[in-house]
Structure 1
Amino acid sequence: MRSPTPRTAAVAALTGALCLAGSLVTAGDALGTPAAHAAVGCQVDYSTNDWGTGFTAAITITNRGSAMDGWTLTYSYAGNQRLTNGWNGRWSQSGSTITVVNENWNGSLATGAEVNVGAQFTYSGANAAPAGFAVNGTACDGDEPTDPPTTPPPGGTAPELKVSGNTLVDADGDAVRLRGVNRSGGEFACVQGNGIWDGPMDAASVAAIRSWNANAVRVPLNSDCWLGLDNVEPAYRGTAYQNAVKDYVALLEENGITPILELHWSHGLWTGHDSHCETADAECLKPMPDAEYAPEFWRQMADAFKNDTAVVFDLFNEPYPNNLEVMDYDRSWQCWRDGGPACTGLTYEAAGMQDLLDAVRGTGAANVVMVGGNSYSNDLSRWLAMKPSDPTGNLAASWHSYNFNYCSDASCWDEQIAPVAAQVPLVAGEFGEDTCSHGYVDTLMAWLDAHGASYLGWTWNTWDCAAGPSLISSYDGTPTPYGAGLRDHLLSAP
């Protein structure tokens, strides 16, 4: 779908603190401190990924008292740590004191609920653990939690995956079908200067996804942000972006959810037919991945996750060389696979699917790799004949299906898609409909179930349905009428 324009480092410090007291905070603070809270009971857990001159701080606030309708966290550093950027809250620093105020979408915490926030800092010298944690003005230092530990998240660890024939299987050889959602945001927020994600990516939001009986989440990403190119604001690129992706992958896996990492927006200037933006920067969907940056993106991504085969890679969102009116149909499939000179008429050098797969396998990564077809990944008619060569055999076909695509009925599915599903694992990496209803997806899911395929609905974001298929109206998992179709189907699945 064309998105809207809208743990490798060691843990350096870990502390848990509990506060149980009453607190009333008056309104009117410049940072929007909430008013009239009930009795506060909180646990704060803090950890870092430290690389010597800077670090990413990960903080979990757990509500151990009455329900909160807003929160403000404060704490202090003893050294020269300086805040550079933060997410999932409004971060600020005054001297050594850090303040984090809830966003409008994560201020309500029921008893036992938690919220994850994070930030990036620079420093020199020692990086001692901070102190003075307080929530809504009440100190949380000193005492160990008196409540029992929280129950482990449902689902357990995500399975290691590989391909066996036309099926995905786990380490025991048992068949696995991936059925879940897309979580858009990582492809556009960073390059638009609006953060790294769109909405919460914390434990509560993942639990809401899991409550639909989803076992997979596809995460669209941006090559400029991952690689740290200069067109992206420093706070949202390079190490900060990479750590945010790694943290979210870990959170999904802890909940038994398979992460699917996908290159959605990439580099390359195309202003011809069916252009989506007039810049070479990764600010929109491009017809093909670029040779300049996309292979390096996949080399780095694969190197980061090559020891974790629970992670699946999706090479490129929606190639569409057949739609450019500069090459014939045969040539468009050659362009799709081989890139470079095969992409006649394209105004930047493209990387083909073989180039990207070679970049992944060159690191030694044996992770399952999904490869989308032509014409916005809706056309798989020549996928089997033109598929890239994979020495590991861990290759799956990615297909996108919407009610407004040309291949949108059972006769086309039987003719074009079923032969692919008979030979390799088929994953409908995106599907949906633009009516905010679920008649089309109900029919499609039944067909995919009959062919043993996997599928992921677009998208777990709270956009109005008028802006595109949106599964939810709230990050607590409240479905739109369209999303209700996927939710009910997943909940009824074995």
Structure 2
Amino acid sequence: MIKIILFLTLILIFNINDIESLYVKGPFLIDKDKIILLRGISRPSLEWYAFGENLSLNDYKLMKGWGANVVRLSLNQDFWLEKAKLYNKEYKETVAKQVKMIRSLGMYCILDLHWSDDGDINTEQAGQKRMADENSIEFWKQVAPIYKNDTGVLFELYNEPLLLPWRVWKEGGVYNGKKYIGMQQLYDAVRNQSAENIVIINGIRWGFDLYGAKDLVFPGYNIMFGTHPYKDPTRVKKYWDQTFGDLSDKYPIIATEFGEFTCDTNYTKEFLDYADMKEIHWSAWGWYKKDCAFPSVIAEWDGTPSAVGELVKESLTRTIKEININFLDIEDKDKDNEKEKEKEEEEEGKEAKEKEKENEKDTDHHRHHNTSKENVTPLKSAEDEERDFIDDFETIDEEKDDDMSVGSSEIGAIVSAAIDVENNKT
């Protein structure tokens, strides 16, 4: 097979008033035969207030003026669903107006399921939960058909899954006595509405960790994987490759949130440089006037950037279009990936057969001499594997309501920091 080397320029598309179709091809996003790199800003408030705060066309014009080509809107399923106690009859129209304004400016829009209800539709305390619930499926069943004719609207299936076994994260199931809905079920809810929109699937540990995703097969298409690299001792640069960076060779990766909780900007700069190197998409948190601990990219509602906002703005407007990259023709790269996967599966099959033959020989030997029992290590069940994974990270005591008791000091730090983030956001 002849590999065609293309020398292309990675470009940001800012004026996209006539978007035809945005779709995933290998590790790339394609629109009108151009490679798209999503870079923009998260716009919170619709998750905690049904009408949002300071939302206006001028708001989005300011973002575009910074150089953003995507805006992420954080949503609340209980404001949306009519059967929910927190339902607001004007919420759907409020969301629709924001999407229309964003799209009219030629920017892409991400709809993020940010807050949920843990399966209790009558709650008055919707918020950040461990994982999606049955009502989350209904939310996407209703949202998807509304925006299915506009592929410039992307669906972020669930904002920040907490620590879960990978199988539960993917397929759903019961964990610590609670039933959760998995990413595959949310994906299916969207596709069952004939919606072709790109979906974003975030990892575990407050949306950061995608390490286990590489070993799980998601039947489907137009899938991006999402991460939230906030500053934390367990989320520093040395962990980025294994938790999400290496996946960018095969899938498009987007950091739909990132930042640090002080006015220091070193971590943010380090991540932005890394994102450029890995061609990772991102939307900075967040366009909301608050302090550094939020963290906020604006100091004033007029678009005056904060310290970290200056860095984000500079990154949005830098001349990425001058960075030339070499890569294989997309079709050839896909074929290479498929061929490599087939080769790996073939080698794994050969190894399995060889081990099986060796085990048979050992069995025959022991049976013949009757000297000892077979010394064969049994394969672990899926449940044991999941438990081993959880034990690597935390010792979880019995939960009471939404409180988490964590035995590991490291995970305790993660949870404390993340809870501080959510408290600062609200």
Return the TM-score normalized by structure 2: 0.69
Question: 1:378–1:265: structure 2 CA closer, same or farther, 3 Å change rule?
Answer: same
Residue 455 of structure 1 corresponds to which residue in structure 2? 282
Residue 225 of structure 1 corresponds to which residue in structure 2? 79
Residue 370 of structure 1 corresponds to which residue in structure 2? 200
Aligned to 1:252, the other structure's residue is in SS state helix
Task: Pick one of 141, 147, 158 that aligns with 1:316.
Answer: 158
**1:335 equivalenced with 2:168 (yes/no):** yes
**1:168 equivalenced with 2:18 (yes/no):** no
What are the equivalent positions in structure 2 for 1:419-434 lying under 5 Å apart? 419-434=246-261
Determine if contact 1:265/1:282 at 8 Å carries over to the other structure.
no
Report the AA paired with residue 33 of structure 2. Answer: G
CA distance in 1, matches of 2:111, 2:225: 15
Residue 485 of structure 1 corresponds to which residue in structure 2? 311
CA distance in 2, matches of 1:418, 1:253: 29
Residue 302 of structure 1 corresponds to which residue in structure 2? 144
Residue 17 of structure 1 corresponds to which residue in structure 2? none
Determine if contact 1:438/1:482 at 8 Å carries over to the other structure.
yes
**1:257 equivalenced with 2:107 (yes/no):** yes
Task: Pick one of 130, 133, 144 that aligns with 1:287.
Answer: 130
**Structure 2 regions of 5+ residues with no counterpart?**
1-13, 322-426
Structure 1 residue runs of 4+, over 6 Å off?
none
CA distance in 1, matches of 2:23, 2:233: 30
Task: Pick one of 232, 238, 262 that aligns with 1:404.
Answer: 232
Deviation string for 1:58-110 (max 9, x for gaps)?
xxxxxxxxxxxxxxxxxxxxxxxxxxxxxxxxxxxxxxxxxxxxxxxxxxxxx
Deviation string for 1:208-267 (max 9, x for gaps)?
11111000111110001111344226xxx13x1111111111110111111000100011
CA distance in 2, matches of 1:231, 1:453: 39
Determine if contact 2:73/2:109 at 8 Å carries over to the other structure.
yes
What are the equivalent positions in structure 2 for 1:16-415 lying under 5 Å apart? 155-157=15-17, 159=19, 160-170=21-31, 172-190=32-50, 196-199=51-54, 201-232=55-86, 237-238=88-89, 240-268=90-118, 280-281=123-124, 283-291=126-134, 293-322=135-164, 332-340=165-173, 343-347=174-178, 349-390=179-220, 393-404=221-232, 406-409=234-237, 411-415=238-242
Question: 1:312–1:158: structure 2 CA closer, same or farther, 3 Å change rule?
Answer: farther
Residue 465 of structure 1 corresponds to which residue in structure 2? 292
CA distance in 2, matches of 1:209, 1:445: 18
Determine if contact 2:28/2:36 at 8 Å carries over to the other structure.
yes
Deviation at 1:155, TM superposition (A): 2.7
Aligned to 1:220, the other structure's residue is in SS state strand
Aligned residues: 305
Question: 1:181–1:250: structure 2 CA closer, same or farther, 3 Å change rule?
Answer: same
Determine if contact 1:155/1:255 at 8 Å carries over to the other structure.
yes
Aligned to 2:227, the other structure's residue is in SS state strand
RMSD, matched Cα = 1.8
Deviation at 1:490, TM superposition (A): 1.0
Determine if contact 2:119/2:133 at 8 Å carries over to the other structure.
no
Q: Which has the higher helix share?
A: 2
Question: 1:372–1:303: structure 2 CA closer, same or farther, 3 Å change rule?
Answer: same
CA distance in 2, matches of 1:403, 1:375: 13
CA distance in 2, matches of 1:282, 1:169: 39
Report the AA paired with residue 378 of structure 1. Answer: F
Report the AA paired with residue 249 of structure 1. Answer: V
Determine if contact 1:158/1:257 at 8 Å carries over to the other structure.
no
Aligned to 2:92, the other structure's residue is in SS state helix
Deviation at 1:420, TM superposition (A): 0.8
Report the AA paired with residue 142 of structure 2. Answer: Q
**1:443 equivalenced with 2:273 (yes/no):** no
Q: Give me the identity figure in percent.
A: 31
Question: 1:296–1:169: structure 2 CA closer, same or farther, 3 Å change rule?
Answer: same
Question: 1:488–1:384: structure 2 CA closer, same or farther, 3 Å change rule?
Answer: same
Question: 1:482–1:161: structure 2 CA closer, same or farther, 3 Å change rule?
Answer: same
Deviation at 1:441, TM superposition (A): 1.0
Aligned to 2:288, the other structure's residue is in SS state coil
Deviation at 1:438, TM superposition (A): 1.7
Deviation at 1:281, TM superposition (A): 4.6
CA distance in 2, matches of 1:384, 1:260: 24
CA distance in 2, matches of 1:316, 1:187: 13
Deviation string for 1:134-179 (max 9, x for gaps)?
xxxxxxxxxxxxxxxxxxxx83427331001001110x22100110
CA distance in 2, matches of 1:175, 1:453: 13
**Structure 1 regions of 5+ residues with no counterpart?**
1-153, 191-195, 271-278, 323-331
